[in-house]
Each structure stands twice: as structure tokens, then as C-alpha cells.
Amino acid sequence: MIDYVFGKPVADALNQIRVVSAKTTTDHGFRQNAEDEEIIRNIADDGYLFLTHDRNTIDEDRFPPCSHAGIIIVRDKRWTEEKVFERVKDFCQSGHKRLAPHCVTYLHEDGAIIHTHEGIVRVNW
């Protein structure tokens, strides 16, 4: 589930390479300015991971691992659709995507930090 800010271009790009099945929050029926907490709580039963850039109000303290379906945060301060696409693609192709469900994952240019209920996992690619 992709934050409406990233939007349809990111979802379409990810769907084209088939590393994930991506859908935007607005495609899922949420209003454009829906609160992230509302989205995270409501998609938990659907099994969607939530992809966002909101690093100010979403973190592992507010949304502890195993209390949601999974959150992926792109850490770039100045993101572009291409950067988001590359971060997610690199993460999926790294073989560590399997760690993301029910965890909070921060994607960086050269790796990821995954907060699990057992601790922190750092991966590089």
C-alpha cells in the first residue's frame, strides 16, 4: 500500500517489474488526506505493507513491530519517484523483503534498517 504522496507513478513502476503488487491508499478507498494511523490500522487485516516517507509521525515507538502488517519508510529528505522506486526494488531484490511484514523498515540508498520484535536488523546492498 503506497502513501498517496508517492502516488500512482510509483505503484505503476513497481507493478511493471513485478517485485511487489502495489496499490495506492486512494485506490484502496482512503481519502487523499487520510491520517497515516487510520491507514495503518485499517490495512492490518488486509496484509498490506505501508510505504511512506513520513519519518516524523511514524516510527517503531509509535507503531511497534507486530502491531501492524508492516511499514516501510523511505528516508530520503528529498525524494523523487525514481528514488522511491529504486529503494524498494533494491530492497526486494536483496532477499530481505521477507523480514518486512509486521516490522518497521527504513530504506536508505545503500541498505535498510529493520526493527523487528526481536531487535534491529541492518542490511546492505
- Record the pTM: 0.92
Q: Contact 17/89 with Cβ under 8 angstroms?
A: yes
pLDDT confidence of residue 42: 86
Confidence of residue 107 (pLDDT cuts 50, 70, 90): very high
Question: In whole angstroms, how far apart are CA 53 and each of 36, 45, 89, 111?
Answer: 11, 22, 16, 16
CA-to-CA distance for 11 and 19, rounded, in angstroms? 11
Residue 98 pLDDT class (50, 70, 90 cuts) = very high
Looking at residue 19, what is its pLDDT? 72
